[in-house]
Structure 1
Amino acid sequence: MKKDDVLSEWNESEEQTDEKSAKKLVWRTRLSISFTVVRMLLLIFLLYVIYMIPISIYYEMSGKSAEFDRLVTTLVETRHPGIAVEKSGSNEAEINPFLTQHTSINLYRQVGDWQVVVGEVTAKKWVFGQINYTVDLDKKFLNNDNTTFVVAPDLLGNTFTEYDSGVMTLAEQLGKIDDGYVVQANFSTKESMTPEELRDIISKYDVTIQQMPVYGGELTEFETSYSKAGQFTFIPSLMLRPYTQYGDENRLSSWFHSLNEQEGLSEAVEKFYDDIAWLIDKGSYQEKDIDQKRLDYINENGLNVYGATVTGPIREIERLEEEVMFHQFELGGIEVWKWDGSY
Structure 2
Amino acid sequence: MPLYTGEMKEFESGHSIAGGSFLSIAGIGLSSARATDEDYNSEFYSRLAQNTVETNQEFMLSNMEKLINEESKSYREDSLGLYYLEERYDYIKEHGFKVYGAVVTGPVKELIKLRDVKEIQSPTLGDFEYWNWVPREE
Q: Is the 8 A contact 2:68 2:85 kept in 1?
A: yes
Match of 2:107 in 1: 313
- The answer to which structure has the higher helix fraction is 1
Distance 2:91 2:100 in 1: 16
Confirm whether residue 290 of structure 1 aligns to residue 84 of structure 2. Answer: yes
Match of 1:303 in 2: 97
Match of 1:215 in 2: 4
| SS in structure 2 of the partner of residue 278 of structure 1 | helix
Structure 2: 5+ residue stretches without partners? 16-22, 134-138
Alpha-carbon shift at residue 311 of structure 1 (Å): 2.6
Distance 1:248 1:220 in 2: 33
Q: How does 1:98-247 map to 2 (within 5 A)?
A: 212-225=1-14, 236-247=26-37
Alpha-carbon shift at residue 236 of structure 1 (Å): 2.5
Match of 1:102 in 2: none
Structure 1: 5+ residue stretches without partners? 1-211, 227-232, 338-343
| SS in structure 1 of the partner of residue 104 of structure 2 | strand
Distance 1:253 1:288 in 2: 22
Alpha-carbon shift at residue 310 of structure 1 (Å): 2.2
Alpha-carbon shift at residue 306 of structure 1 (Å): 0.3
Confirm whether residue 331 of structure 1 aligns to residue 127 of structure 2. Answer: yes
Alpha-carbon shift at residue 243 of structure 1 (Å): 2.2
* Residue 278 to residue 312, structure 1, CA distance change in 2 (3 Å): same
Distance 1:270 1:221 in 2: 22
Q: Once the two structures are superposed, what CA deviation does each residue of 1:78-101 show, in whole Å capped at 9, x if it has no partner?
A: xxxxxxxxxxxxxxxxxxxxxxxx
Larger Rg: 1
User: Equivalent of 1:276, from 31, 48, 64?
Assistant: 64
Alpha-carbon shift at residue 218 of structure 1 (Å): 0.2
* Residue 254 to residue 225, structure 1, CA distance change in 2 (3 Å): same
Distance 2:49 2:82 in 1: 30
Match of 2:18 in 1: none
- The amino acid across from 1:331 in the alignment is D
Distance 1:328 1:302 in 2: 26
- TM (norm. structure 2) is 0.67
Q: How does 1:4-83 map to 2 (within 5 A)?
A: none
Q: Once the two structures are superposed, what CA deviation does each residue of 1:295-334 show, in whole Å capped at 9, x if it has no partner?
A: 1111111111101122333322121245451334433754
* Residue 318 to residue 216, structure 1, CA distance change in 2 (3 Å): same
* Residue 328 to residue 282, structure 1, CA distance change in 2 (3 Å): farther
Match of 2:46 in 1: 256
Alpha-carbon shift at residue 275 of structure 1 (Å): 1.4
- Give the number of aligned pairs: 118
Confirm whether residue 267 of structure 1 aligns to residue 55 of structure 2. Answer: yes
- The amino acid across from 2:64 in the alignment is I
| SS in structure 2 of the partner of residue 327 of structure 1 | coil
Identity among equivalent pairs (%): 26
